[in-house]
Chains A and B, each alone.
Chain A
Amino acid sequence: MSREYLSLKKIEGPLVVVEGVEGVSYNEIVEIKLKDGLKHGKVVQIQDDVAVVQVFENTSGMTVDDVSVKFTGRPLEIKLSREILGRTFNGIGEAIDGGGPIFTGIKLDVNGSPINPVARRYPRNYIQTGISAIDTLTTLIRGQKLPIFSGNGLPHNKIAAQIVKQAKIAEGEGEFAVVFAAMGIKHDDAHYFMKTFQDSGVLDRVVMFMNLADDPVVERIVTPRCALTAAEYLAFYENMNILVIMTDITSYCEALREISAAREEVPGRKGYPGYLYSDLASLYERAGMVEGSKGSITQIPILTMPNDDITHPIPDLTGYITEGQIVLSREIFQKNIYPPINILPSLSRLMKDGIGEGYTRDDHPDVANQIFSSYSRVQEVIALAQVIGEDELSDVDRKYLEFGRAFEYKFLTQGFEENRDIIKSLEIAWDILSILPKNELDRINPKFIDEYYRG
């Protein structure tokens, strides 16, 4: 049944109101025909015969008359098949690379459905990223959602690109592909990613969904959903291992706030809508692995913390949903260290079950624990040294300072082209831990100290 209406009652920001409608259903997709083109929207509220429609493209230039509004009766769906590999789409899943639309395949609702917890497989296999700080201290596990908390101007894109380039899962574990969702990022950032994909030869294994900074804001709300639907298709229908990079979550949340304000909803913290948590969860929880499929979805969302504030609602709510976080620090960046990862607030919740004997190496959990504990002590010693001067420190404290420097310049620091395997990373870890006296290593099982301690 196709129903068309020929006028709008109201246009306000991204919302239009249509009156006198019948049989409209919640969340269905609306096609709005204008003299000079077609726009899409979604029903976000219905009351009696009035429907509020959120328009994906820009509403500027729209008039209340001379339009034709058609309710399709379906939620937003995109067509998916293996052909999407190597293709580029806009924020609502239309091909923009000149290759024409996807014709064959199945149509899936971009909103997805929650994975039943009894159908999940618990993630246990680690992905080697070749970056020491991540592999050793915040190990990425296949099927995990591990965001990068960054700040403006920090090299989060470079780290994400390095992960894509070097990510390695165990041999013979199926195909690997990348789904890339750009939300409100700059054109040059988008080019940077495209170039890295090209240089590392993965371009034909990448699916891109692009909503750049000057693209319509409302489209940004569906961009990650299209990308995750494509990821679910590739992972669960085609049994592939998918790495999803979503950047920048902060732009996504701001788009959400903009629409919420236009709808005159009661705001929560800092003007973000009260449902921000549920909304973000509906993205992040789409990572994982399910029974009956060999595929997996691993997410690396990137967000820039406004004013580098980790307690801002966006990083805060993200951290409550994701399985850990990798936090970048401006202070470390200014010391000219790459990657500038601040390990203390960084965390991988799933690493406990995916490292150690049978996965990486038996001493890995203790080593990671010890580095966290000792590096946190280093911070106290630095604070003390600033007050009383380095010369006044006790011998042990001076060792800690030396350890801290070695950690930052030998272990943390590595080149963009440098790909260290986990054994190499652990060996460097022992090199620097051996700076400390043996009995300061109180988190390590004595038998590992006997085996690995230098000297």
Chain B
Amino acid sequence: MGGSIGKIIYVNGPVVKANNMRTFKMREMVTVGDKKLIGEVISIDGDIGTIQVYEETTGLKIDDDIVSTGKPLSVTLGPGIVGNIFDGIQRPLNIIFDSTGNFIKEGIGLATIDKSKKWFVKLTKKNGDYIHGGDIFGEVEETKLVKHYLMVPPNIKGKIEYIADDGEYDLNTTLIRLDSGEELKMYQEWPVRIPRPVKERMPIQKPLITGQRVIDTFFPIAKGGTAAIPGGFGTGKTMTQHQLAKWSDADIIVYIGCGERGNEMTEVLEDFPKLIDPSSNLPLMNRTILIANTSNMPVAAREASIYTGITIAEYFRDMGYNVAVMADSTSRWAEALREISGRLEEMPAEEGYPAYLPSRLAEFYERAGYVKTLNEKEASVTIIGAVSPAGGDFSEPVTQNTKRFVSAFLGLDRKLAYSRHYPAINWLSSYSGYISHLEDWYSENVSKDMMNLRGEMLKILQEENKLQEIVKLVGEDVLPDEQRLILETAKLLKVGYLQQNAYHKDDTYVPLDKQYLMLKVIDKFYKEAQQVIKIGVPISTIKTSDMFYKIIKMKYEIPNDYGDLFNKMLEEIDEYFLNLKKAYEGD
């Protein structure tokens, strides 16, 4: 029940305390002060309640009112979400723009998706049908890419007594009335801190294909899996997240800009409507949802933005979609927790972070999963979280605790970034726990020896790293040619394969079969070179050959619709080494 009123007795930044709060519920949404700022009750101690406020608290006074709304912090789920940009508590930024202009002011009150907009609804049930939570009763074409299925909220069931005809309706129109008296509309509300229910969780089985070679080939992310991308500033976390948002083969992308730069959100807003999705030929914005709490927006809303994003993702998952959530950056979220915890004068654990940091991180990442939905569809939520470790030091609490709860770890390396090796994913410190789950998928869908090749190439990179230690001491020239070949092959891999140019029209997204063929070419070159070195061909001949540079440049020269170019390349390699052999054996 709404309407209870508390009185403010304490204000410190986003934290407000009030008395007369006995009738308020924990985690209930409230309005604060004359400007009706939005807040959430985060603790109740007898008569005194503590509230975190999602807007700037300047101007709040002692004795100002706290008004109960009777419901927890929730998001409104219905058509109008896709292609939109929201703040941390799901208020559309363009509605805020209409009401307060270029700058975000406080006191806008609650706003959400436009409920007066009319959508054409096709209803798929009929009078007398029994429906349960999760059942689909209608469809709306939300964008050209996304069909929005209208679902019965999870906790409702009954027999349909009234159902509207197909037609154009706004969000407030009752589409279905049940015998229990419940009315179903185009939208439903869901509290952000509670995961939406599913029928069952299923084992991981498919990769999330990203078109990024170092990820797809070496450290794959699974649909329904979790991945963390940690890296100091300037190592390309946001760049990597943008590339994943652009090219991964999810049906829906939820991009949470959590405590990051305003211009980055603007970049997404300007770029995505222009970028074309390779599978549907429609602008990527048609499948993208943005949540923006830039670093100068209120810190409490930063804490909420992560939950708002994941709840929206779960809602689309329930329709049967594969959803990918990019959270950039989870460290800012953890810092928001720390800031509020500090203002509450809670006992700090490591580096001032609250002791409940690990459990909050676990709760968040565990909302990912490959599931069977209530309406018996297979769907998934994948979470890819960027981590911004202080000082670029991976031993800090957020990185360490995140590592415990994610299966794929894509560590970004400052040294690689300095030499502009992008994506700067360090192949030695990164790992993917999904290899064993995905092995079968790769051998069925790409090639039987894909995983084998992957292993061999990783071994070369590993050996190169050891050899570099020696090279640093004595120089490269003293190594035997067999070992120098490893160095050169590693160079092929690094420059020709691991480095990927996000601004090149072909190289920005590379399909899996091309990735495989590229690896195949490098492997062939390596094996043939091993043979000729045995008969005394010097490494310097091989590494300065045109063939070598052709392989380095193949990522640019061979387009994604490569035809028989790779076959030609493999033949050329054969021919090159044959000629080499002839020349040397002829001596």
Where the two chains meet, the residues of A that have a C-beta atom closer than 8 Å to any C-beta of B are: 22-28, 44-49, 75, 111-123, 143-144, 236, 265-269, 273-275, 277-278, 281-282, 284-286, 288, 290-293, 311-313, 316-317, 319-321, 323-325, 344-345, 347, 349-350, 352-353, 365, 369, 372-373, 376-377, 380, 383-384, 387-388, 392-394, 439, 442-443, 445-446
Asked if B332 is an interface residue, CB under 8 A from chain A, the answer is: yes
State in angstroms the CA–CA spacing of A277 and B294 once bound together.
Answer: 12
Known A285-B262, A345-B414, A388-B473; further 16 A-B contacts with Cβ < 8 A: A25-B59, A47-B11, A111-B56, A116-B102, A117-B294, A118-B97, A120-B263, A269-B351, A269-B352, A277-B295, A285-B296, A290-B102, A292-B102, A312-B391, A320-B233, A383-B472
- Whether A46 lies near B234 (C-beta < 8 A) is no
Question: Which single residue of chain A is at the shortest CB-CB distance from B295?
Answer: A281
Asked if B280 is an interface residue, CB under 8 A from chain A, the answer is: no
Scoring A112, A116, A290, A388 by chain B CB atoms within 10 A of each residue's CB, the highest score goes to A116
What mask results when residues 93 to 106 of chain B are scored 1 for a CB within 8 Å of chain A, else 0?
11011001111110
A26-B59, A114-B296, A114-B297 known; A388 vs B475 contact (CB < 8 Å):
yes
A324-B234, A372-B419 known; A75 vs B62 contact (CB < 8 Å):
no
Q: Which residues of A contact B59 (CB under 8 A)?
A: 25-28, 75
- Whether A384 lies near B552 (C-beta < 8 A) is no
Among A122, A316, A393, the residue within 8 A (CB) of B263 is A122
Among A25, A121, A274, the residue within 8 A (CB) of B335 is A274
- Whether B11 lies near A119 (C-beta < 8 A) is no
Where the two chains meet, the residues of B that have a C-beta atom closer than 8 Å to any C-beta of A are: 9-13, 17, 56-63, 85, 93-94, 96-97, 100-105, 232-234, 257, 259, 261-263, 265-267, 269-270, 292, 294-297, 299, 332, 335, 338-339, 341-342, 345, 348, 351-352, 388, 390-393, 414, 418-421, 471-477, 495, 503, 544, 549, 552-553, 556
Question: Which single residue of chain A is at the shortest CB-CB distance from B15?
Answer: A45
Question: Which single residue of chain B is at the shortest CB-CB distance from A371?
Answer: B420
Question: Which single residue of chain B is at the shortest CB-CB distance from A273?
Answer: B342
State in angstroms the CA–CA spacing of A323 and B267 once bound together.
Answer: 13
- Whether B263 lies near A119 (C-beta < 8 A) is no
Q: Which residues of A contact B418 (CB under 8 A)?
A: 344-345, 372, 376
State in angstroms the CA–CA spacing of A325 and B17 once bound together.
Answer: 40
A311-B391, A439-B544 known; A277 vs B352 contact (CB < 8 Å):
no
- Whether A321 lies near B266 (C-beta < 8 A) is no
Pull 14 A–B residue pairs with CB atoms less than 8 Å apart, ordered by A.
Answer: A26-B61, A46-B62, A47-B11, A119-B102, A266-B352, A268-B342, A269-B390, A274-B352, A277-B295, A278-B299, A312-B391, A316-B232, A345-B418, A347-B234
Q: Which residues of B contact A117 (CB under 8 A)?
A: 85, 93, 257, 262, 265-266, 269, 292, 294
A75-B58, A442-B495 known; A384 vs B104 contact (CB < 8 Å):
no
Among B12, B351, B477, the residue within 8 A (CB) of A268 is B351
Q: Closest CB of chain B to A202's CB: distance in Å?
A: 27
Question: Which single residue of chain B is at the shortest CB-CB distance from A264?
Answer: B345
Question: Which single residue of chain A is at the shortest CB-CB distance from B548?
Answer: A439
- Whether A118 lies near B234 (C-beta < 8 A) is no
A26-B58, A75-B59, A393-B475 known; A114 vs B103 contact (CB < 8 Å):
yes
State in angstroms the CA–CA spacing of A144 and B266 once bound together.
Answer: 13
Q: Which residues of B contact A46 (CB under 8 A)?
A: 10-11, 61-62
